[in-house]
Structure formats: C-alpha cells, structure tokens
Amino acid sequence: MSHRLNHLHRSAIELRTKTVRFLRPKLTSNRFSQRKPVVLPPELWQAIFEDLSLQDVSNVRLTCKTFADLAKAQAFSNYNSLPYMPDRDSLSRRVEWWTSESISPLVRQCSIKSTRLWACDDPSGIPDGGNLVDPIYNDFFQLLPRFVNTQRLHCRNIVFSDLVLTQLCQLESLTTLEIDSCIMIASVRPPMLKVINFLFKTSAHLLKYSATRENPRGWLEVLHPDYIRRIHIDIHNPHVVDLRAPSLPKANCSQADLDSIRRHVIMIVSHPTALEELVIEGWYEQDVHLERSIPMLSLRVYNGPSQLFTALLIGKGLHTLSLHGDPRAAFHQLRRQSRLIERLELHINYFKLTDVSSIERMLSAGVGVKHLGVHAIFFHNRALCELSRVCRMTNQVPGMKIAFSYFRLFPNSQ
C-alpha cells in the first residue's frame, strides 16, 4: 500500500514538473508579460491639440512638461492686441514678450484692433495726416516683421501710414489679409504683398479713404494681382461698438457715394488676374449699374448681387453660385453655355411663378444643378409644388436636392 502511494506521489510531482516546464516559456513570453504604456508620436499629439480651444490647451500644458512643450506652438499661435490696456507701458511690455525670439515664430494669426472710432457721419469729420496715427500702434508695427510665420492678419480701425504699410509688406508668409474700417494715408509705394485671400470691410463713407485712392495710394497698389484667389467685400458692416459708424449705405448715402461704391468695387474686383472666389455684401441690387464686362474665366464661387453677376465673363469652372435679387438676367447668362453647378442659392424678396418659369428655361438649356436652395421673404403657395415638379422633369442631374426657406406664403390672387 505504501509503495503504491509513493508511486502516485512521484507521478504527481513529475506531472507538475512537466506542466511547469511547458507553461514557463509561455508565461514569460511578451504576450503574457506586463504591457508597456502606449506612447503616441509627438506629431499626433500636436494634431489633437489643434482641435482644442485656447483654454483647453492652457489646461493641457499644466499637466506635465511633455505636454507643455508639445502644446506650446498651439498656445501661442494667435496674437490679439489688447487696445484697452491701462497704459502704454503695459501694452509695450506685452508686445515685447510676444515678439521675443522664442514666441514670435509660433504666431500664425495676428489681430490688431484700435479703439479709435471714426466720426464718419460727415466725410469732413475725418482728419488728415499725422493726427490719425496712434503712436502705440507705431511701436507695434515696428516689431511686426518678427512674426515671420504669420499667415493671417486682421486689422481694424488702423491707419496705414508709410511706416505701417512698409512693415506689413515684410511679412513674407502672409496669405490672408483682412482690412476692417481702416484708413490709408501712405504716400510711398512699398513692395507688393502676395496674399491669396483679401477680405475688405468698410463703410460707404470710409471707402474713399481706404480702397483705391490715387494720392495717397490705395490697396490696389499694394496687393499683387497674380496671387489673389479670394476677395470678400463687405460695405455695410459697422460693428456694435462703433457708436459713430454710419448705418446702411442706402439710408444715408448720396448718389455720389453710391457712384463711389460702384467705382471702387469694380476696381477691386477687376484687379486680380486669376480670381476663384468672389463674395460681395452690402451692395444693393438697384445700385448695381455696370457699363462694361469684367472677365473672370477662373471664377469658381460667386456670392453677391445678381446684376453684378450678369456683367462677369465667367468660364466653365463655376460650381457654386449664390444670387441676391432678381435672378432672371443671371439665368439668361447661364443658358449661354451648358454647365454643371454643384450648388445654386437664390435670395429674393418675392418668389413667384415667373421665377419658376425662368428656372425651367435655364434647366432645359442644359444647365445641371445638384443642389437648389430658394430663400425668400414671401413665397407663392403654388410655386412650391411647381418648382419641385419642374426640377424633377428638366434637370440634367438625377437625385437633385431642393431646399426652401421663407417667412410667409401669399395666395394666388396676389
């Protein structure tokens, strides 16, 4: 009996030994060993930080030294001036810190705003010469070329003197320039800016002081025509804080001011040689009277008055069209050559059955539309069903999408 027990004991030991020998290499392999923490490449972390807000980036930088270094470029990518600093010395110290060698190369977007409110109810209220120049911003523009990697610059209520304009033209990486209610008094022509996007916002009274003056020189003398691809003109957008800014141009502008708007807009639009996107706001349809055609064979996106569109000589690359006002003349121009339009948006006051007939003739002439949007204040109740039927029967693109928006319907008798 004891011999049998000893035999079973030895068999159990041998079995345990064989089991341990069999499992030891598997248990000590990489598959079962303790896993190391996942380490993401720095480029991926930086891509994640780009989607965070500035406050979130600031909080991330407080977690550890690694994140503080990786998120530094995102934390200091935007510079916004603080015109309401308590004194000039505080503002100067802030500018010196941002323009230091360790911070200035990180800035990608720069916004410069002045507290000056132009008294432009009367053009004679705008002074001339050195009285316009703010010495605080002269100090800033002296250091502006240190932002060597800045790609976007927004200036509001800034006076562009010879010094300011010369320093601005030294930003070689600049691609987008946004001018908002600024005045041009420079008399010396600097090197031309090779910007791609030009956003120009001003009031009707300030336009003659900022756009295309021959003496002093205007922006058309500064922007290189071969590089501009996008222009956005906004004439009627005074800010809420601009208490002395004018109201809408139609309300207070004389005929001379309206003629000035038309002349300057045409000059700005005609300046680029390869414009791809044109957006014009604040120009009323009844004020658009052009005596000549403007060639824009490279235009791809247009958003503006219908009457101005009829004066443009466009190519077949146009794919997005947003018309404000009576679109019938624009439809007549589109019928001249067959094309495919990705998106067509109509913004009118009254949408009637005659407008449906104009759309039907345009679609029957070979113009294909993938997405049609009609935005009207008053909509003829029969026009809704009629437009849907016409688009399904005549459009060259299967599965066309139609969108409507209106304030109220009016009956057939009206």
Question: What pLDDT does 244 receive?
Answer: 32
Q: What's the one-letter identity of residue 18?
A: K
In the structure encoding, which two tokens stand for residue 70, read together? 């990786």
Check residue 302 and give its pLDDT. 94
Distance CA 309, CA 306 (A): 5
Element (H, E) at 178: strand 176-180
- Token pair of 341, please? 């339009």
How long, in residues, is the chain? 414
Q: Helix, strand, or coil here: 150?
A: coil
- Residues contacting 113, CB < 8 A, separation 6+: 80, 81, 83, 154, 155, 156, 157, 158
pLDDT of residue 240: 37
pLDDT for 229 equals 93
Cα–Cα distance between 222 and 187 in angstroms, integer? 12
pLDDT at 227: 92
Q: How many CB atoms lie within 10 A of CB 144?
A: 21
As separate numbers, helices (DSSP H) first and strands (DSSP E) second, the chain gives 15, 16
Q: Is the pTM of this model over 0.85?
A: no
Neighbours of 14 (CB within 10 A): 10
Q: Looking at the DSSP assignment, which residues form a beta bridge with residue 130?
A: none
Q: Is the omega angle on the peptide bond into residue 398 within 30 degrees of 0, that is, cis? A: no
Distance CA(414)–CA(122), nearest Å, equals: 42
- pLDDT value of position 121: 41
pLDDT confidence of residue 303: 92
pLDDT tens, position by position, for the chain (414 residues)? 555 556 656 666 676 666 656 656 655 555 545 555 557 788 888 888 888 888 888 888 888 888 888 888 888 889 988 766 556 677 778 888 888 888 889 999 999 887 665 544 444 444 454 555 666 677 788 888 999 999 999 988 888 888 888 888 888 899 999 988 787 777 777 788 889 999 888 765 555 555 444 444 477 778 888 999 999 988 764 443 333 333 334 445 566 666 777 777 788 888 888 999 999 887 765 556 666 678 888 999 999 888 888 888 888 889 999 998 888 888 888 877 777 888 889 888 888 888 888 888 888 877 888 888 888 887 777 777 777 777 777 666 677 787 877 666 655 544
Q: Which helix (H) or strand (E) holds 386?
A: helix 381-394
